[in-house]
């Protein structure tokens, strides 16, 4: 029987990859806390309507990419493809709407059935923030600033560019939608089949198409800026002024859109040229209509999400773990003493690898394989004289250290190896 393999589009996070993931999530969590974002977690699966209603029945995510199934109770549930809808559902079901503004940070796995490619998987991981209940542009500025701070803290701030656009308010968006329908309808024969369907349901999503013919047609489409009303322009001007005040450099991208109906005003992405064509590492926007769409009051919101896998590919190698201490029993009679000593050292904050079996040579090979800095050898003779042997695994030098109940001399000698 051939060895089992992981499902296509998934991956095992072995220790090196797990360290990179942890570096991203821990850095992001610490930076988000500076802005008052408190960590929360939603279930990995929800009732399907939590995602299908806000994302849209006819979007690719719902129609083609969601992992949806009926559980044993006959309920239709879906593995979360994104987390904004889950966070909003949590706000509503836990009665938090009276406590706005709400500021949340999250980190965890998401699931989409899509073609795996560089940095993209069917089970992937995201960090993100959501700020719910603030209609003023300060929320947009602060959310974008938090994303920039995280990218800077990860050491990749100089490798990404902030792209910015406005989708205007509901009135502006409706006027622009009408203009797009008129323009794309006149050139419908030049669009792909998917974009022809998008034309009927949400023409803004044509801008998201990767088809060359769609991109060519979209390149001549009317500009959103021509359909913004005065209030939308003022809002965007205030967002830009705030970013300028904080020294956050951006470039305007009039084709940057969020295709779902509940998005309004600010849309943004941090993009890089270091990951090929799929260059977005963090993206977000204002979703003032989402809470109401999901059955709550008319509350504004804004947030962003970033793929941990993509960020982990960009960051420098994280610092290695501290080299452990190898505790090596010599002979069967010393097994118990070695086990006790290893636990005492751990009680003192030491990272310890205990040789489990084999002769001394085999256990020392194990110590080298785990890159131990020093080995503590203990056998019957050492137990009788109340000492241990301390071997420097870099130089090979070996000395004896007397034991006492507090391990004071042993701890001092070990500390010297670790600076």
Query: 286 and 159 share a domain?
Result: yes
Rounded mean pLDDT, 72-80: 94
Q: What is the mean pLDDT of residues 95-113?
A: 96
Cβ contact 206:195 at 8 Å: yes
Q: What does the DSSP 8-state code read for residue 316?
A: P
Domain boundary, last residue among 254, 287, 314:
314
DSSP string, 154-169: TT-GGG-EEEEEE---
Residue 83 forms part of a structural domain: yes
**Do residues 310 and 329 both lie within one domain?**
no
- β-strands 102-111, 161-166 pairing: unpaired
Mean of pLDDT over the chain: 91
The reply to whether 292 and 334 lie within a common domain is no
CATH number at residue 39: 3.30.930.10
Q: Are residues 412 and 266 in the same domain?
A: no
Other Cβ atoms less than 10 A from the Cβ of 36: the count is 12
Q: Which strands form 387-392's sheet, in the order they lie side by side?
A: 352-354, 325-330, 374-379, 387-392, 398-402
In a domain, 113, yes or no: yes
Mean pLDDT of the 113-120 span: 72
The region of weakest confidence among 1-5, 81-85, 167-171, 301-305 is 1-5
Do both 395 and 283 map to the same domain?
A: no
- Read off the CATH number of the domain in which 409 is found: 3.40.50.800
Residue-level pLDDT at 273: 86
Q: Provide mean pLDDT across the span 263-288.
A: 89
pLDDT at residue 243, rounded to an integer: 98
Residue 205 is assigned to a structural domain of this protein? no
Q: Are residues 407 and 277 in the same domain?
A: no
Please state the rounded mean pLDDT for residues 65-69.
Answer: 90
Domain boundary among 314, 337, 372: 314
Check if the beta carbon of residue 284 is closer than 8 Å to that of residue 87.
no
- Looking at the structure, do residues 292 and 339 belong to the same domain, yes or no? no
- Assessment of whether the complete model's pTM goes beyond 0.85: yes
Radius of gyration of the chain measured on its C-alpha atoms: 28
| Per-residue tokens: 270 | 């941090």
**341 assigned to some structural domain:** yes
pLDDT at 36: 97
Whole-number pLDDT of residue 144 = 98
Q: Is there a single domain that holds both residue 122 and residue 146?
A: yes
φ and ψ at residue 259, rounded to 5 degrees: -80, -5
In a domain, 51, yes or no: yes
3-state secondary structure of 306: strand
Q: pLDDT per residue over 77-88, tens digit each?
A: 999 999 999 999
**Same domain, yes or no: 280 and 339:** no
Q: Are 128 and 83 in contact (CB under 8 A)?
A: yes
DSSP string computed for 179-218: HHHHHHHHTGGGS-HHHHHHHHH-GGGGGG---HHHHHHH
Those residues with Cβ within 8 angstroms of residue 149's Cβ, 6 or more apart along the chain or in another chain: 31, 34, 35
Residue 58 clears pLDDT 60, i.e. is over it:
no
How confident is the model at residue 59, as a pLDDT? Answer: 63
Q: Note the pLDDT tens digit of each residue in 159-170.
A: 999 999 999 998
**Taking Cα atoms as reference points, which of 77, 54, 81 lies closest to residue 66?**
81
Question: In sequence order, which residues have a C-beta less than 8 Å from that of residue 32 and are 6 or more positions away?
Answer: 39, 105, 129, 146, 150
- Report the alpha-carbon distance of residue 356 to residue 359 in Å, rounded: 10
Banded pLDDT at 132 (limits 50, 70, 90): very high
pLDDT for the residue 275: 80
pLDDT band per the 50, 70, 90 thresholds, residue 119: low
Number of structural domains, the chain? 2
Q: How confident is the model at residue 194 (pLDDT cuts 50, 70, 90)?
A: confident
Residue 380 belongs to some domain of the structure: yes
Q: What is the pLDDT of residues 332-367, one digit of tens each?
A: 889 999 999 999 999 999 999 997 888 888 999 999
pLDDT at 101: 97
d(CA 402, CA 386): 6
Give the range of the structural domain holding residue 44, as residue numbers without chain letter. Answer: 15-169+229-314
336 in the same domain as 283: no
Burial of 2 (0-12, 13-18, 19+ CB in 10 A): exposed
Convert the pLDDT of each residue in 370-399 to its tens digit: 999 999 999 999 999 999 999 999 999 999
Is 122 inside a domain boundary?
yes
Q: Is residue 149 part of a domain?
A: yes
Whether residue 308 sits in one domain with residue 329: no
Alpha carbon distance 260, 55 (integer Å): 7
Give the pLDDT confidence score for residue 64 in this predicted structure. 74
Q: Average pLDDT of 148-164?
A: 96
- The number of angstroms, rounded, from the C-alpha of 402 to the middle of its chain's C-alpha atoms is 49
Same domain, 129 and 97: yes
314, 345, 369: which is the final residue of a domain? Answer: 314
Output phi, psi for 230, to 5 deg. Answer: -60, -40
């Amino acid at each position: 029987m051939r060895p089992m393999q992981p499902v296509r589009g998934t991956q095992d996070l072995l220790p090196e990859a797990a360290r990179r993931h942890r570096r991203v999530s821990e850095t992001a969590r610490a930076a988000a806390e500076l802005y008052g974002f408190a960590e929360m977690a939603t279930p990995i699966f929800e009732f399907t309507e939590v995602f299908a209603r806000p994302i849209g029945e006819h979007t690719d995510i719902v129609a083609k990419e969601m992992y949806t199934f009926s559980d044993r109770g006959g309920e239709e549930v879906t593995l979360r493809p994104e987390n904004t809808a889950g966070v909003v559902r949590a706000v509503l079901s836990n009665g938090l709407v009276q406590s706005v503004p709400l500021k949340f940070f999250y980190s965890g796995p998401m699931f989409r059935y899509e073609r795996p490619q560089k940095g993209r998987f069917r089970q992937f991981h995201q960090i993100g923030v959501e700020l719910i209940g603030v209609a003023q542009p300060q929320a947009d500025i602060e959310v974008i600033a938090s994303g920039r701070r995280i990218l800077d803290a990860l050491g990749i701030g100089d490798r990404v560019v902030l792209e910015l656009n406005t989708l205007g308010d509901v009135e502006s968006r409706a006027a622009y939608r009408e203009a797009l329908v008129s323009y794309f309808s006149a050139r419908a024969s030049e669009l792909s089949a998917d974009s022809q369907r998008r034309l009927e349901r949400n023409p803004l999503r044509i801008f998201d198409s990767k088809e060359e013919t769609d991109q060519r047609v979209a390149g001549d489409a009317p500009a959103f800026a021509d359909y913004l009303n005065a209030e939308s322009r003022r809002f965007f001007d205030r967002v830009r002024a705030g970013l300028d005040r904080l020294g956050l450099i951006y470039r305007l991208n009039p084709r940057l859109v969020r295709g779902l109906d509940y998005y309004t005003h600010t849309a943004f992405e941090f993009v890089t040229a270091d990951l090929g064509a799929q260059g977005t590492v963090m993206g977000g926007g204002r979703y003032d209509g989402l809470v109401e769409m999901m059955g709550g009051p008319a509350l504004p919101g804004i947030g962003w999400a970033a793929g941990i896998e993509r960020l982990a590919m960009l960051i420098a190698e994280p610092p290695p773990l501290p080299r452990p201490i190898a505790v090596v029993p010599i002979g069967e009679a010393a097994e118990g003493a070695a086990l006790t000593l290893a636990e005492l050292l751990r009680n003192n904050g030491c990272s310890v690898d205990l040789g489990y079996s084999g002769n001394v040579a085999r256990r020392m090979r194990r110590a080298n394989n785990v890159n131990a800095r020093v080995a503590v050898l203990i056998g019957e003779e050492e137990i009788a004289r109340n000492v241990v042997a301390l071997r420097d695994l870099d130089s090979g030098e070996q000395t004896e250290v007397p034991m006492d109940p507090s391990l004071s001399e042993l701890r001092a000698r070990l500390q010297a190896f670790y600076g």
